[in-house]
Amino acid sequence: MDAMNTGGTRTVGYDRVVLPGGRQLSRREFEALPLRERVGYLMEGTAQFFNGATQVTAADAMKG
Amino acid sequence: MSVAVKAIENTRAALEAIVQRAEERYEKRRQEIFRHTDRLFSRLMIGQWAFAVLLAWVVSPYAWQGMQKTIHLHVWVAVLLGGAITSVPFYLARTRPGEVATRHAIAVGQMLWSALLIHLTGGRIETHFHVFGSLAFLAFYRDWPVIVTGAAVVATDHFLRGILWPESVYGIANPEWWRFLEHAGWVVFCVSFLIMSCRKSDKDMRVMAERGAELEALSENAWRNSSVLDRAAADAAGR
């Protein structure tokens, strides 16, 4: 998983999440999910986070 | 029990524990704010009481009945009614801090203090600013129903005194019948923004608590993905 952009600056934060089954959510929609559900995705590592076109790790996504 | 079933149960238990801790962090922070604000108001109540007695003493210390000098009724009002207004919120703040009833009693008491100070100053418009200051102080609780309680008390007070004793609240004997609506309108204006601010602050507290839970979940995920040897080494280091 590439968490770096071409300029070498670490990309943090996210604006889009892809959940298991291909369901795509905006950041606002993801944050509106019940905490239990969000924590479940993060514990299982099954959610993919994107900042623009760049995929970021869950850890970096949560930093921004 | 198979290893897979046990792993699933462990994951579920860890998830519940993380969510529970987030809720506890949120509630703990709220309680800290409630108790701190209760203590603040208990001191403010005493300060207002002393101020009201001083005010009554300075503004109208004596009345004259023929040749006899007597202590003005306002001094007694400040001492006795002020004491009564202070007693319940002060007692609750000291004995039952953080409880819902305590902060609503404080809201009632604080707005009654506004009413009493307005009365003691003969309805001076400047003393009406105490109402807005009090509503802002009540927003320290970050619990919007408390502000609604305060606003309801001040609106009721202005309405009733405006009918029964207008000099006491407006300083004149014959104000327009709608004068209380003008005051209430400014209170609604102020309160609507304070309520928005309280709701935002409360939401921010929850977000902070949930952010902690998300970080815990990431840590749990990293732990589960680490090798058996890594875990054994970490366990050994922890002992």
Q: What is the DSSP string of B76-104?
A: HIIIIIHHHHHHHHHHHHHHSTT-HHHHH
Kindly list the domain boundaries of chain A, sorted by start residue. Answer: 16-61
| Cβ contacts of B213 on chain A, cutoff 8 Å | 35, 39
One digit per residue, the tens of pLDDT, for chain B of length 239 reads 677 788 788 888 888 999 999 999 999 999 999 999 999 999 999 999 999 988 888 876 665 556 666 677 888 888 899 999 999 999 999 999 999 999 999 999 999 999 999 998 888 889 999 999 999 999 999 999 999 999 999 999 999 998 899 888 888 888 888 888 899 999 999 999 999 999 999 999 999 999 999 999 998 888 888 766 566 666 676 65
- Is the CB of residue A4 less than 8 Å away from at least one CB of chain B? no
Cβ contact, residue pair B218, A58, below 8 Å: yes
- Is the CB of residue A58 less than 8 Å away from at least one CB of chain B? yes
- Is the CB of residue A1 less than 8 Å away from at least one CB of chain B? no
Tokens of B232: 């054994």
Q: What are residue A10's phi and psi, to 5 degrees?
A: -70, 130
Selecting from A35, A58, A59 the residue whose C-beta is nearest the C-beta of B213 gives A35
Residue B170 near residue B123, CB atoms below 8 Å: yes
What's this model's pTM, rounded to 2 decimal places? 0.82
